[in-house]
Structure formats: C-alpha cells, structure tokens
Amino acid sequence: MKNAVRWCVLIPCLNEEKAIRHVVKSALRLGVTVIVIDDGSDDRTPDIVSALPVILLRHDARRGKGEALRTGFREALRLGFDAVVSMDGDGQHLAEDIPRLVDVGLRFPDHIVIGARLLQREQQPKGRRRANDLADWGISWACAQAVADTQSGQRWYPRSALDLVEVNAENFVFEAAVLIAASREKGLGIVSVPIASRYEDTFRLSHFSPVKDAVRIAMYTLGRIVHYGSIRASYNRSRTQPLVIDDSYSHRTAYNAQRAV
C-alpha cells in the first residue's frame, strides 16, 4: 500500500538565484518528480531551474505564494499524484528532512504533515518566534485542533488536501486556509515532525511582510473561527497537546522541550 502512493516535491520560488540550484538538486536526489513554480522572478532563477530535470511552471508576473502553490497543486493533480511535499526555494528547508515527513504521512494517511521548526529554536529571532507562536494560537483555534508551527512551508499534503486547491485565499493566507479547511471541512488531522530552525545571513530577506501579511492571516483566521461556530468548543479542542512525531523522541518531550526555550 505504501509503495502505491505517488508523491512529488513542490517548490514555489521567487528570485532565488543564490539557493535554488542546490535546493532543487537536493530534492532530485530523492528520486521523485520535482515541480518548480517560478512566481515571476526577474533574476536568474528560471534560467537555473530550466537547466535541471524538473517540471518548471512559470507565472509571467508575481501572483504571490498562494497562487504559486495553487499552480503546483493543479499540476500535481493533473499528473495523478496522491500527495505532494512542499518546500521553500531559499534553502531554509532541507530535502534530507523529506523522507521523515513522507514516512509519517504514510503512517497517518488522513493527516497533513508539517516540518515544524521545533529544534534549535534559539536561532529564530525573538520577534519572529513570538509572531509564530501567536499564529499557532489563532490558526489552531480556527482548525479546532492544536497545530505545531502553522507557518512552516515544508509540508506533506495528501490528496484530500490537494482537492482544496480552489480555497478562497491568496498570498501567504493560502497555507493557513488549507490547514483550516482541511481540518474543518475534510476532517483531516495535522501532525508535525520536528526539523531545525534555520535563519542564516545567507538567506535572502523574506517575502513575508510582518505587518501586511500578518494582518491578512489574522483577519482570515478570525473570520473562519466565526464562520464555523462552536467558538468555545473549538478553542478548547485547540488547547490540547499538538501531535508531534519523531522516532528519536517522545513526541511530547520533544515538543515541550522546545516550547520551554
């Protein structure tokens, strides 16, 4: 059954000429199809990617990360894949972590799997860490289940989550919207696999706007909490322990140790 699941790697990118070759090559070493979505880059990103054995889809102009992921979801569905693993193109996600996400995804078939940045959290800027914790609090409430690291872009999406490709959300809100809709409309669980936090000087500045995008996500999340109702019950369910799986750790111990940093 496990061998019957067809999955691919999905890499949305925008102006990633410094890192994209290494990111794509590392994903190709997994021996699976790699789909790269270039969101209107104006640097050498598309030239670099086009020289590699991947499926390259290009937007003529920048449409945002949500539309890049949507384009990738549509292509994966068109090609008949059962699941995708998404990862960012700036180098902060390692392809070496993907087999762990896939293994957990196969063990938990009705779940989205998040590569959660729970290890080496001291590398996260304090402001970013607080913002991520706040996002986890709100999005978990909207999902009516506890979620560790709702802001990570490294995820295993099963087919039932891919079917939410047309969810009404754009830009960085799209990733939160898929988590919420998958939880509330598809009945999917969400499980996290600990990965390292990586914030290096060599990474390009994030395309995420700490004000504009954070407000968009907050307003969308609040609207979903109200939309689904049972507000107190949803909140209570979101205050339970997130499901975090790592074969080398007790999942509760691993998560709580990092939360205490």
**Digit-coded pLDDT (tens) for 15-25:** 999 999 999 99
Distance CA 93, CA 71 (A): 20
- The residues, ordered by sequence, that sit 6+ positions from 256 with a Cβ below 8 Å of its Cβ are none
- The residues, ordered by sequence, that sit 6+ positions from 49 with a Cβ below 8 Å of its Cβ are 13, 20, 24, 36, 38, 56
Q: How far does Cα 261 stand from its chain's mean position?
A: 23
Of 101-105, 139-143, 218-222, 254-258, the poorest mean pLDDT is in: 254-258
Residue 255's CB is within 10 A of a number of other CB atoms, namely: 24
Contact of 142 with 224, CB cutoff 8 Å: yes
Q: What is the pLDDT of residues 156-206, one digit of tens each?
A: 999 999 999 999 998 889 999 999 999 999 999 999 999 988 765 555 556
Res 62 pLDDT > 90: yes
Token duo for residue 207: 């395309």
Counting residues of the chain whose pLDDT is more than 70, the rounded percentage is: 85
Mean pLDDT, residues 143-167 taken together: 97
Among the listed residues 100, 103, 189, 114, the one whose alpha carbon sits nearest the alpha carbon of residue 156: 114
Return the ∠ at Cα 117 (arms to 115 and 120), rounded to 5°: 140
Distance CA 50, CA 47 (A): 5
Q: In what order do the strands lie in the sheet with 111-119?
A: 55-58, 34-38, 7-13, 83-86, 155-158, 111-119, 189-196, 243-244
Res 2 pLDDT > 60: no
Prediction pTM value: 0.89
Mean pLDDT, residues 109-133 taken together: 81
What pLDDT is recorded for position 1? 41
What pLDDT is recorded for position 99? 97
230 φψ region: left (φ > 0), alpha (ψ -120 to 50), beta (else): left
Res 250 pLDDT > 50: no
Whose tokens are 């190709």? That residue is 28
Amino acid present at 151: Q
Token duo for residue 215: 């407000």
Res 38 pLDDT > 80: yes
Hey, what long-range contacts does 40-45 have (CB within 8 A, 24 or more apart)?
40/14, 41/13, 41/14, 41/15, 41/16, 41/17, 42/15, 43/15, 43/16, 43/17, 44/17, 45/13, 45/14, 45/15, 45/16, 45/17, 45/20, 45/89
Counting residues of the chain whose pLDDT is more than 90, the rounded percentage is: 76
What pLDDT is recorded for position 234? 97
pLDDT band with cut points at 50, 70 and 90 for residue 154:
very high
